[in-house]
Structure formats: C-alpha cells, structure tokens
Structure 1
C-alpha cells in the first residue's frame, strides 16, 4: 500500500469519525428533549421494553451489515447508559 493510499484511507476514517461524533451529538440533543418531556410528565427515565426492542433491532442491523452484534450491543449500552444518567439528572432537577 502506498503512502497516498494510506493517507486516503485515513482521511476516510477521519471523515467517518467526525460524522459519528456529529450523529452522537444530534442523538443526545434529541434524547435530552425526551428526558425533559418525561420529567415534565412524571414518566420514568428508563423504558426497559423500548430499550430491549431497540437493542434487538440494532443487533439484527449489525448482523445484516456484517458487524459483530455483541460489539454493537456493548456500544449501544454505553450510549444508552449515558442517556439514562442524563434523564435521571433531568428528573432530579425538575422535582
């Protein structure tokens, strides 16, 4: 592999990484709004049924895309755990 090829691959990786960060930021903006809504309506910060449905769907998507579903589930749990922490903080600050 030439240095130019490696540089092109690295540029592509950097572009994807930046897109992932932007998508995570957008996801957290949306989940913050959900947390505010839940707190305003006395809803619990966690919806275990919704969480499991989402994990099941994303595991299947990971499999369809040739990714390790266990890895993807760990990633999703990492993100969801942070969302739940944020929802709990929002609920505590509104009570």
Structure 2
C-alpha cells in the first residue's frame, strides 16, 4: 500500500468516525429530550429523581448488549453512569423548580 493509498484510507475511516460521532450526539440529544419529559412527570407526581431498581435492570441489560456487540462492560457501565448521572441531576433541578 502506498503512502497515498494509506492517506486515502485514513481519510475514509475518519469521515466515517466523524459521521458516527454526529449520529451519537443526535441520539444523545433525543435521549435527553425524552428523559426531560420523564423528569417533568416525576416532579409533577412528586416521585424521586432516582429509581435504583430500574437503573440496576437497565445496567444489566446494557452489559448484556455490550457483550453481544463486543464492547467492554466496564466502558458501557462508565458511559451509562455518566449519562444517568446527568439525567438524575437534571431531574433534581426540575423537581426543585416546582
């Protein structure tokens, strides 16, 4: 493979990565729009911001998916803790605004 071929292949991979990054951000934005509605509903019903049992079941489900698709469970767990932490923080803000 020539240097030119390598550069073209690298550019192609990077374009795909850029597209996937954009898709991930759009998916996250949609997820947060949905969890915003959940937070509003919980606040209106005076429900707690967290649901430990739901979070445990969800984490188990996502770890199984991680195994199926070849992702490390630790990575998925860390990522989801970050996302869920942001959601819970927002749910607490929504509840405090009421």
What is the TM-score normalised by the length of structure 2?
Answer: 0.94
Residues 1-95 of structure 1: pairs in structure 2 closer than 5 A: 2-94=6-98
Give the distance between the partners of 1:58 and 1:32, measured in 2 at CA: 21
The alpha carbon displacement at 1:31 in A equals: 0.2
Give the structure with higher Rg (CA).
2
RMSD: 0.7
| CA offset digits 1:48-74 (Å, max 9, x no partner) | 000010000000100110110111000
Give the distance between the partners of 2:64 and 2:73, measured in 1 at CA: 7
The number of equivalent residue pairs is: 94
Partner of 2:95, secondary structure, is helix
Q: Which runs of 5+ in 2 are unaligned?
A: none
**Misfit runs of 4+, over 4 Å:** none
The alpha carbon displacement at 1:2 in A equals: 1.2
Q: Which runs of 5+ in 1 are unaligned?
A: none
